[in-house]
C-alpha cells in the first residue's frame, strides 16, 4: 500500500463523512444545483451516523480493494477502522475534536496529534458543495438503482480544460429518499474508471455514545506525539534536499521545453524518499528517488507495462491515474517519473539523470 493511496483513501473517508445527510420525503425530479442545496440543508438533521466505505482503485489494469467502517457524531467526532486490505486491517483513526489518534497494528504504534486551534473542527460541507459547483460543470444524468436504492446521478466535469489532477470527471449517486452519498466514480482524462467508492449499511441517529471516540492505547503500544506542522512535508531547494538525504540524489540535465524546477520534498523514515517537482504552467512533472531494496521486491503495480530501454537498463512505462509513469533502477536507486509528457520525452529525461 503506497503513501499516495493512503492519502487518497483518507480524503475519501472525510468526504464520506460530510456528504451524508438526514431523511426527507421523496420529491419530484430536481436540477443538480437543487439537489446539492437540499443535501446541504439536510445536514442539520444528523445527530450521528455510521457506514461502511468500500473503495476499488485501478493501478495499471489491476484492482485494489480498500474497506473501512466509520462512525461519526458531527461536527467533530469520528472513528474509522480499516478491515481490508490485510496490510491495513486493524488500523484505527479516532478524532474527538481536539486530538487525532492513529493506531498502526503492524508497528504496534500510536500517533497522537493535537489539532491546531486555527483549524476549524467542524467539517465544512457547505464549502465542499460550493467548490463542486464553482469548479465543475454540473449536470443531472438521470436516476439509477444503487444497492436497491433509487439515486440521482450527477456528473461533475472540471471547467478548466487543462487536467492537472488525478481525476478528469466524477459521477456521484445521491439517494433520492435520504439524500446520502451512495457512490462516487472517478475517471481519468482518457475516460478510464480509476476509482470507485461506495457507502453501504448507512444508519442515522441511532444514539452512538461518546465512548466510541475515547481512544484506549493498546497494551504495549508505543505512543508518539507529533504535530500537523511536523507531518506536513517541507518544500526544499535542491541543496537543502541533498543535505537531508543519506544517498546521492540524481537531477536531470534535460527537461522538456517550458519545464523548470519548482521544489523538492524529502520523506524520511524506514524508506527514505526524495520527490522533485518540475512545472510548466499548470502541468507537473514528478521525479521520485529512493534506495533500492531487492529483498522487498513485489509484482509490479503497473499491471502489464511496456518495457523501454534507459541507458541500456530496462524500465517500465504505463499510464497510471491519468498520467504517464516510467519506473527504473540504476546504481542502487529506484526512480519513478510521472507526468503528462509523452513516452519518448520521459525516456530523454530519465537518460539525462
pLDDT of the residue at 191: 82
Confidence of residue 175 (pLDDT cuts 50, 70, 90): confident
Question: From the CB of residue 153, how many other CB atoms can be counted at a distance below 10 Å?
Answer: 18
pLDDT of the residue at 60: 58
Say yes or no: 115 and 221 in one domain.
Answer: yes
- Judged against a pLDDT cut of 60, whether residue 5 lies above it is answered with no
Say yes or no: 187 and 255 in one domain.
Answer: no
Domain count for the chain, please give it: 2
List pLDDT tens digits, range 71-92: 988 878 999 999 999 989 999 9
Say yes or no: 217 and 340 in one domain.
Answer: no
Say yes or no: 168 and 309 in one domain.
Answer: no
Say yes or no: 37 and 89 in one domain.
Answer: yes
pLDDT of the residue at 276: 96
Percent of the chain with pLDDT over 70: 76
- Judged against a pLDDT cut of 80, whether residue 93 lies above it is answered with yes
Q: Which of 196, 227, 258 is the last residue of a domain?
A: 227
The torsion angles phi and psi of 5, rounded to 5 degrees, stand at -60, -45
Confidence of residue 164 (pLDDT cuts 50, 70, 90): very low
Say yes or no: 293 and 176 in one domain.
Answer: no
Crossing angle for the helix pair 32-41 and 125-135, to the nearest 10 degrees: 170
Q: Are the beta carbons of 98 and 117 closer than 8 angstroms?
A: no
Spatial separation of the C-alpha atoms in residues 321 and 57, rounded to whole Å: 9
Three cell numbers at 285? 512533472
Q: What is the dihedral of CA 243, 245, 246, 252, to 10 degrees?
A: -100
- Altogether, the residues listed in the chain come to a count of 353
Question: From the CB of residue 110, how many other CB atoms can be counted at a distance below 10 Å?
Answer: 20
Find where cell 523501454 sits: 308
Stronger pLDDT, 96 or 269, i.e. the higher one: 96
Say yes or no: 206 and 252 in one domain.
Answer: no
Range 133-148 average pLDDT:
80
Q: Which of 203, 227, 251 is the last residue of a domain?
A: 227
List pLDDT tens digits, range 185-228: 988 777 888 889 898 888 888 999 999 999 999 999 999 998 87
Question: In CATH, what number is assigned to the domain containing residue 40?
Answer: 2.50.20.10
Kindly report the pTM of this predicted structure: 0.64
Say yes or no: 220 and 278 in one domain.
Answer: no
- Judged against a pLDDT cut of 50, whether residue 19 lies above it is answered with no
Q: Which of 227, 257, 288 is the last residue of a domain?
A: 227
Question: In CATH, what number is assigned to the domain containing residue 295?
Answer: 3.30.200.100
Q: Are the beta carbons of 123 and 72 closer than 8 angstroms?
A: no
- Going by C-alpha positions, the residue among 338, 329, 221 that lies closest to residue 285 is 338
Domain that holds residue 327: 233-351
HEC readout, the chain: CCHHHHHHHHHHHHHHHHCCCCCCCCCCCCCHHHHHHHHHHHHHHCCCEEEEEEEEEEECCEEEEEEEEEEEECCCEEEEEEEECCCCCCCEEEECCCEEEEEECCCCEEEEEECCCCCCCCCCHHHHHHHHHHHEEEEEEEEEEECCEEEEEEEEEECCCCCCCCCCEEEEEEECCCCCEEEEEEECCCCCEEEEEEEEEEEECCCCCHHHHCCCCCCCCEEEEEEHHHHCCCCECHHHHHHCCCCCCCCCCCCCCCCEEEEEEEECCCCCEEEEEEEECCEEEEEEEEECCHHHCCCCCCCCCEEEEECCEEEEEEEECCEEEEEEEECCEEEEEEECCCHHHHHHHHHCC
The torsion angles phi and psi of 261, rounded to 5 degrees, stand at -65, 135
Say yes or no: 177 and 247 in one domain.
Answer: no
List pLDDT tens digits, range 296-348: 444 445 557 899 999 999 999 987 766 889 999 999 999 999 998 999 999 99
Say yes or no: 217 and 92 in one domain.
Answer: yes
Confidence of residue 129 (pLDDT cuts 50, 70, 90): low
| Lowest-confidence segment of 14-23, 234-243, 270-279, 328-337 by average pLDDT | 14-23
pLDDT of the residue at 327: 94
Average per-residue pLDDT in the chain? 80
Q: Are the beta carbons of 339 and 348 closer than 8 angstroms?
A: no
Say yes or no: 312 and 204 in one domain.
Answer: no
Say yes or no: 214 and 271 in one domain.
Answer: no
Among positive and negative, which fits the CA dihedral 46, 49, 52, 56?
positive
Amino acid at each position: 500500500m503506497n503513501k499516495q493511496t493512503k492519502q487518497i483513501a483518507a480524503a475519501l473517508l472525510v468526504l464520506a463523512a460530510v456528504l451524508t445527510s438526514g431523511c426527507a420525503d421523496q420529491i419530484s425530479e430536481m436540477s443538480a444545483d437543487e439537489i446539492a442545496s437540499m443535501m446541504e440543508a439536510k445536514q442539520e438533521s444528523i445527530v450521528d451516523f455510521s457506514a461502511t466505505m468500500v473503495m476499488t482503485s485501478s493501478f495499471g489494469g489491476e484492482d485494489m480493494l480498500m474497506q473501512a467502517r466509520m462512525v461519526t457524531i458531527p461536527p467533530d467526532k469520528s472513528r474509522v477502522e480499516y478491515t481490508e486490505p490485510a496490510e491495513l486491517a486493524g488500523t484505527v483513526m479516532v478524532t474527538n475534536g481536539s486530538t487525532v489518534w492513529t493506531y498502526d497494528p503492524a508497528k504496534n504504534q500510536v500517533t497522537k496529534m493535537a489539532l491546531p486551534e486555527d483549524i476549524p473542527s467542524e467539517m465544512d460541507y457547505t464549502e465542499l458543495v460550493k467548490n463542486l459547483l464553482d469548479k465543475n460543470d454540473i449536470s443531472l444524468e438521470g436516476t439509477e438503482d444503487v444497492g436497491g436504492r433509487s439515486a440521482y446521478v450527477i456528473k461533475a466535469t472540471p471547467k478548466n480544460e487543462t487536467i492537472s489532477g488525478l481525476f478528469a470527471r466524477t459521477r456521484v449517486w445521491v439517494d433520492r429518499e435520504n439524500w446520502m452519498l451512495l457512490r462516487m466514480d472517478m475517471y481519468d482524462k482518457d475516460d478510464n474508471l480509476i476509482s470507485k467508492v461506495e457507502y453501504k449499511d448507512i444508519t442515522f441517529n441511532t444514539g452512538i455514545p461518546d465512548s466510541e471516540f475515547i481512544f484506549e492505547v493498546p497494551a504495549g503500544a508505543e505512543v508518539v506525539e507529533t504535530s500537523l506542522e511536523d507531518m506536513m512535508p517541507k518544500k526544499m531547494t535542491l541543496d537543502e534536499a541533498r543535505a537531508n538525504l543519506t544517498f546521492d540524489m540524481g537531477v536531470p540535465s534535460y527537461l522538456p521545453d517550458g519545464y523548470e524546477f519548482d521544489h523538492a520534498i524529502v520523506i524520511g523514515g524506514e524508506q527514505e524518499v526524495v520527490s522533485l517537482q518540475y512545472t510548466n504552467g499548470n502541468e507537473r512533472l514528478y521525479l521520485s528517488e529512493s534506495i533500492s531494496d531487492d529483498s522487498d521486491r513485489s509484482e509490479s503495480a503497473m499491471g502489464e507495462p511496456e518495457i523501454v530501454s534507459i541507458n541500456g537498463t530496462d524500465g517500465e512505462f504505463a499510464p497510471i491515474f491519468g498520467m504517464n509513469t516510467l519506473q527504473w533502477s540504476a546504481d542502487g536507486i529506484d526512480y519513478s517519473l510521472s507526468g503528462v509528457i509523452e513516452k519518448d520525452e520521459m525516456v530523454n529525461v530519465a537518460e539525462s539523470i
